[in-house]
Structure 1
Amino acid sequence: MYKKFYILLVASLFFTIDSFSQEDLIIKAKDTIYTSPNEFDMLSPARAAFYSAILPGLGQAYNKKYWKVPIVYGALGTGVYFYDRNNTNYNRARTAYKLRLDGKPNEFDGVGGNIFLSDDALVRAQKSYKKDRDLSLLVTVALYVLQVLEASTNAHLLQHNVDNNLTLSPQIIKDATNNKSVVVASLNFKF
C-alpha cells in the first residue's frame, strides 16, 4: 500500500514540476555590448601597411591621421638629405685623392685660393664621409620601416573601443598609519 502511495507521490511531483516550465519564468536581459557604427575590418592594418610601403605617408592618410604625413616626409627627407650631402663630400674627397695620386691638380691642392689638405686628411675625410653616408642610409631605411609599422599599428588600434569607461589613473594617497604619501595606480572599469 505504501508502494502505490510513493509512486503516486513521485508521479504527481513530476506533473507539478512540469507545469512550472521555463516559458512562464522568462527573464530577458538587454544586450549591453557596444557596437561601433564602423564594422570590424580585419584587413585594415595590412592595407595601411601596404599603402605606407608603396608610398610613405599613404598609410597614415588611410588611417585619417593626416597630421602625420608631413612628419613622415620630414623624417625621410632629412635622412635622404644627409645621405646625399655625405655622398657628395665623399665623392669630392675621393676624386681629389685620386687626382693627387696621378699628380694632377685638384680642389684641395692649395693652388689658386683652394684650401690645402694632406693625403692623410683626404683618406680620413673619405672614411668619415663614407661612415656618415652609410649611417644616414641605415637611419633612412629604419625610418621608412618605422612609418610602415606605425601605420599598421595605428590601424589596428583604431578598431578598439577606447573611451572613458576604461581608465588607468595614478593617484597619490596618504597612508593613515604613518602619514606618508603612497603612489597608487588604479584600473577602473565602468559598466
Structure 2
Amino acid sequence: MKKLSLCCLLLLFLLPVAIQAQGVAPATAPNTADDSVYIESGQDTVLIKSYATRYDPRKALLYAAVLPGLGQIYNKKYWKLPLVYGGFGALGYAVGFYQKGYKKYKAQLFDNINEAPNNENFLHPVSELSTGQLRTIVTSYRRQRDFWLIMTGAMYLLQIVDAHVDAHLKEFDVNPNLQVSLEPLIEQDAVLGRQSGVALIIKF
C-alpha cells in the first residue's frame, strides 16, 4: 500500500513536468542538414539563416574577376563602388596622360634623329627641345606609364580580394543582438581627477 501511494505521488509530480516539456518543444525538429543557426532564448527558438548560404566567396571572387565592382554589388557593399570605379578612373587618366605624352615626345625624338642622326644638341622646331632632352623625357614618360599600368593591375586584384574576403566575413555576422554605439563617458579618478570622453559600447 505504501509503495502504491509512493508511486502515485511520484507520478503526480512528474506529470506536469512532462506536459510542460512537451509544450516547450518545437513543432518541428530543427533540420541540422541545412546551413542554419538555432539560438535558444527562454521558451523561444530563433532561426537565423547563415550568411554562408547567401554569400558564396567563390561567386564573389568570380563576379569581381569578370567585372570590377560586381563582387561588391554581390556582397551588397554598394558604398565601395565609388572607391572602385573612382580608383580605376584616376588610374586610367594617369595612364592615358603619360601614354599621350610618350607618343608626342617620341614622335619629336624621331624627327630630330631623322634630321640630325649624330647631333644630340639638335633642337626640335616645335618644342625647341634637344635630342638628348627628348630621350630623357621619353624614358621618363614610359616609366610613369608602366608604373600606373602596374597600379591598375594591383587595383584590379585588390578589388577581387576585397570581394572574396568580404563574403567570408559575412559568415560571422550572425548575432541579431549585436549593438555598437558611442556614448559619453565621465570618470572620477583619484590621481587624474575628473575625466570626460566618448566610450565605444559593444553589446552582444
TM range (shorter): 0.5 to 0.7
Deviations 1:11-45 (A, max 9, x none): xxxxx9xx89xx76668588237533466328612
1:93 CA drift (Å)? 1.9
Structure 2 unaligned blocks of 5 or more: 1-6, 26-39, 117-121
Which residue identity does 1:161 align to in structure 2?
Answer: V
- Compare CA radii of gyration and give the structure with the larger one: 1
Measure the CA separation in 2 of the matches of 1:89 and 1:48: 38
1:46 CA drift (Å)? 1.8
Question: Are 1:56 and 2:68 an aligned pair?
Answer: yes
Measure the CA separation in 2 of the matches of 1:34 and 1:42: 18
Q: Which has the higher strand share?
A: 2
Question: Are 1:173 and 2:186 an aligned pair?
Answer: yes
**Identity fraction in percent:** 28
How many residues matched?
170
1:85 CA drift (Å)? 2.1
Using structure 1 for the length normalisation, give the TM-score: 0.66
The counterpart of 1:95, out of the listed 99, 102, 107, is 107
Measure the CA separation in 2 of the matches of 1:59 and 1:87: 30
C-alpha contact 2:51 2:174 (8 A) present in aligned 1: no
1:122 CA drift (Å)? 0.9
Which residue identity does 2:139 align to in structure 1?
Answer: K
Q: Give the corresponding residue for 2:32.
A: none
Distance 1:186 1:89, change over 3 A: closer
Using structure 2 for the length normalisation, give the TM-score: 0.63
Measure the CA separation in 2 of the matches of 1:65 and 1:155: 10
Dislocated runs of 4+, deviation >4 Å: 23-30, 168-171, 182-188
The counterpart of 2:81, out of the listed 54, 69, 83, is 69
Q: Give the corresponding residue for 2:28.
A: none
The counterpart of 1:47, out of the listed 59, 82, 101, is 59
1:72 CA drift (Å)? 2.1
Distance 1:162 1:39, change over 3 A: closer
The counterpart of 1:161, out of the listed 152, 166, 174, is 174
Question: Are 1:141 and 2:153 an aligned pair?
Answer: yes
1:125 CA drift (Å)? 1.0
